[in-house]
Amino acid sequence: MNIPYVVEEREDTGLINSKLGIWIFLASEVMLFGGLFSAYIFLRMAALPGDFERWASELSVPMATVNTVVLISSSVSMVMAWASLKMKDFSKYKMYLGITIFCSFVFLTIKYFEYSGKFAHDIYPSSNTFMAIYFTLTGLHVLHIIGGLVVMLYFYFPISHKMWDKQPEQFTNRIEVFGLYWHFVDLVWIFLFPVLYLL
Amino acid sequence: MYSNSNNHDHHEENFIQKYIFSVDHKVIGIQYGITSLLFLLFGFSLMAIMRWQLAYPGTEIPIVGFIFGEGGVLASEQYNSLGAMHGTIMIFLGIVPLAVGAFGNYLVPLQIGAVDMAFPKLNAASYWTYFVGGVIMISSFFMPEGAARSGWTSYPPLSVFENGQTIWLISMIFLITSSLLGSMNIIVTIVQLRVPGLTWMRLPLFTWAQFVTSFLLVLAFPPLEAAAVLQLMDRVAGTSFFLPSGLVMSGEIVDIAGGGSPLLWQHLFWFLAHPEVYVLILPALGIVGEILANNTRKPIWGFKSIVYSMVFLGFCSFIVWAHHMFLTGMGQAMSAFFQTTTMIISIPSVVILTSYFLSLWGGSIRFNTPMLFALAFLPMFGIGGLTGLPLGLAASDIYLHDTYYVIGHFHYVVAPGTIFALFAGIYYWFPKITGKRMSETLGKLHFWPSLIFMNGIFMPMFIQGLAGVSRRLADGGVSYAHASGVLQWNEFMSISAFCLGLSQIPFIVNIFMSLFTGEKSDRNPWKSTTIEWDAPSPPLAHVNFDSKITVHRTAYEYSVPGAKEDFIPQTES
């Protein structure tokens, strides 16, 4: 069985299968987070005036700022990893993907300290609707980071070298498609940061 | 036994790869089909138990009464569980997997001349996620808390405190993931894997319907997933997304943070669940279109209008959801908006149905079993659709909301509507899938009683509903003053329901009998034009076709003047 348009693009659509697939997947992700963001708006409109602002001030803006920088850097290194593959430089790819993996570990670590800081002050999802939506949104985002991390580790381990040797073009496409996902996760954070920490 | 399986190691692994963890879209389609038909039967049995209770409240349930504890009488909580599970199983585990998982998986690649779906492994993952979700859902019957009992709509605050809901939510997350993977796959397959010459307007109606349906699934299901996550948080982490401040339960204020809103759930839920209605009906419309064209031996009337209507229907289904919420006090401006969009969305449905009726005009109709089911679909869906209009208008909905009228309305759409279309599809494509013809006699024995008893069940619901009988009454309305004048219909409906169950026996017998002793079928037993009939019956494993496919014409070229035969296949140059 040979499925067409796995590596080469279809002429009339100009796409490979996996790229169209990931965009449709991301559309559904937009609807998932869109649903949660509208829940946020709904709850904020229903809350007592000043309630959300007061609880939001419990969050640590410096930690989130550092995390924003970390995540944006990881997006840049992701692009560089893909570009290195395009230039047929596998060792550079490894370095840049390594940086991306490192960044996501840093993000998770900072997030861990943020969460445990909240728990130490007896702040839980059950404390208030702001905290509830904060933990749900960031928790779901963290799950997306962890999912991405698993995929990146898979592409980092030695097995990746075999895939690269066998089918370099397909491997490059895989990294590109994964990169799209990773940028999306990054983009979600770009929305989460101002909505939860700053507004 | 262990050594035995060792001996046949190679053979057995082969069997598992071929029939169980297969990545062939045809095997996965059949897996979906068998699983979802079993779920449909199970969901029907739940309803049969409920109908006994409604007809003869407080008496012992025959045959299966021993499950329900002492005396075999159904308790109100158990009635609620059965009701919630009937809805959930029929919709999420029965019809959607059958219409999209089974029919979509099996036929879309064949109708576009592809060797398989675009992502075969994802396809298998989609089935197995569905399977796990189904097992979790069924397992909730055996949990100490019992199955969910807050209705298939799971409205909070009730659902946040009622037993069994956690398992329901976890199962739903699996089912949503499964349908996401499946529908993503169908979209990519249709866009990318069409054979040369198969332009968009040459696609058959069934494939068009699957295409639009898949977009609905991809875009409408995630907000329900979000809502399920929020409700799960409410139940497990003690949040108050859907719980307002000062909520009183059993005379005491509940100890919660509050500040949430039950309306939020309804918005998120219906944002899925209204497009879901079109997920249920669009594949049915597609199947009926194929069968009508084939058995009237005429091109379908208004093909392009039907396609545009389907796309418009899909788009519009995202902006009508709050017509389920006229009674929530969301305000008149909102009601006016959603009532308007609801009236607008009825237009494309009417366009499609009218085109189908006009397609019959002047045709030399063949009344075989698939055609009978497809023809019955038209008026049944018509009744279902037209009775929906009073529900879409805020003023009349205030009276009809949550009565049996609503139950009658949506069952007409889904049961004698969608399910008849799915039956039609099974009879129509069975020769392609198995290489055997189904028995026409048994098919007609299945059709006529089904048609009569379906109406016997659902028509009286309109009468009861208009009299004001509420839905979800565990005693069928005995303790309800409004119901006294129309109570006698309960027994009539229940007996119809039991007879409907019995009339499915010819269908089940037909499937097995035809499978083993049925007459062999050639490639194109119905003399049809679409591409799937160019493949051998059954299509070859993994490659489907035994020749190279190129498309030269539109989907329904029947009775072309001057042609040798009364049909010209799409592949003929």
State ipTM: 0.95
Predicted confidence (pLDDT) per residue in B492-533, tens digit: 999 999 999 999 999 999 999 999 999 999 999 999 999 999
Distance (Å, rounded) from C-alpha B57 to C-alpha B363?
50
> Per the CB < 8 Å rule, is A20 touching B543?
no
Query: Shortest CB distance from A25 goes to which of B184, B192, B240?
Result: B184
Query: Shortest CB distance from B257 goes to which of A21, A36, A128?
Result: A128
Residue A158 pLDDT level (bands cut at 50, 70, 90)? confident
Burial status of residue A130 (CB atoms within 10 A of its CB: 0-12, 13-18, 19 or more): buried
- Kindly state whether B191 is in contact with chain A, defined as any CB-CB distance less than 8 angstroms: yes
Distance (Å, rounded) from C-alpha B498 to C-alpha B50?
11
Query: Shortest CB distance from B229 goes to which of A27, A31, A140?
Result: A140
Query: In B261-390, which ranges are E strands?
Result: none
Distance (Å, rounded) from C-alpha B59 to C-alpha B303?
54
The nearest alpha carbon in chain B to A22 belongs to: B184
> Per the CB < 8 Å rule, is A126 touching B239?
yes
Query: Shortest CB distance from B115 goes to which of A2, A29, A127?
Result: A2
Contacts of B237 in chain A (CB under 8 A): 124-126, 132, 135
| CATH number reported for the structural domain that contains residue B331 in this entry | 1.20.210.10
Domain of residue B400 covers: 25-244+257-534
Q: Which two tokens stand for residue A34?
A: 């869109």
Predicted confidence (pLDDT) per residue in A44-86, tens digit: 998 999 999 999 999 999 999 999 999 999 999 999 999 999 9
Helix pair angle (A90-120, A168-192), 10° resolution: 30
Predicted confidence (pLDDT) per residue in B14-66, tens digit: 788 888 889 999 999 999 999 999 999 999 999 999 999 999 998 899 888 88
Closest CA to B170 of B138, B206, B194, B207: B138
- Kindly state whether B359 is in contact with chain A, defined as any CB-CB distance less than 8 angstroms: no
Distance (Å, rounded) from C-alpha B87 to C-alpha B542?
36
Phi, psi (rounded to 5 degrees) for B410:
-75, -20
- Kindly state whether B256 is in contact with chain A, defined as any CB-CB distance less than 8 angstroms: yes
Query: Shortest CB distance from B187 goes to which of A2, A24, A128?
Result: A24
The answer for residues whose C-beta is within 8 angstroms of residue A74's C-beta and 6 or more apart is: A99, A100, A103, A104, A107, A182, A186
Work out the minimum CA distance from A95 to partner chain B, whole angstroms: 30
Amino acid at B396: S
Provide the domain count of chain B. 1
The pLDDT value recorded for residue A1 is 66
Q: Which of B173, B185, B192, B229 to mutate to test the interface with A (most CBs of A within 10 A)?
A: B192
* pLDDT score of B1 more than 70: no
Residue B80 pLDDT level (bands cut at 50, 70, 90)? very high
Work out the minimum CA distance from A10 to partner chain B, whole angstroms: 7
Q: Which two tokens stand for residue B265?
A: 């759930």
Average pLDDT of the segment spanning B282-307: 96
- Kindly state whether B271 is in contact with chain A, defined as any CB-CB distance less than 8 angstroms: yes
- Report if residue B383 sits inside a domain: yes
A-B interface: how many C-beta pairs under 8 angstroms? 135
Distance (Å, rounded) from C-alpha B289 to C-alpha B301?
10
The answer for residues whose C-beta is within 8 angstroms of residue B277's C-beta and 6 or more apart is: B317, B410, B413
- How many degrees, rounded to 5, is the angle at CA B572 between CA B568 and CA B573? 120
- Report if residue B289 sits inside a domain: yes
Average pLDDT of the segment spanning A155-170: 90
> Per the CB < 8 Å rule, is B118 touching A17?
yes
Closest CA to B241 of A116, A35, A29: A35
- Report if residue B218 sits inside a domain: yes
Work out the minimum CA distance from B46 to partner chain A, whole angstroms: 32
Choosing among 2.40.10.10, 1.10.3720.10, 3.40.50.11260, 1.20.120.80, the CATH entry for A17-198 is: 1.20.120.80
- Report if residue B560 sits inside a domain: no
Query: Shortest CB distance from B225 goes to which of A15, A32, A46?
Result: A32
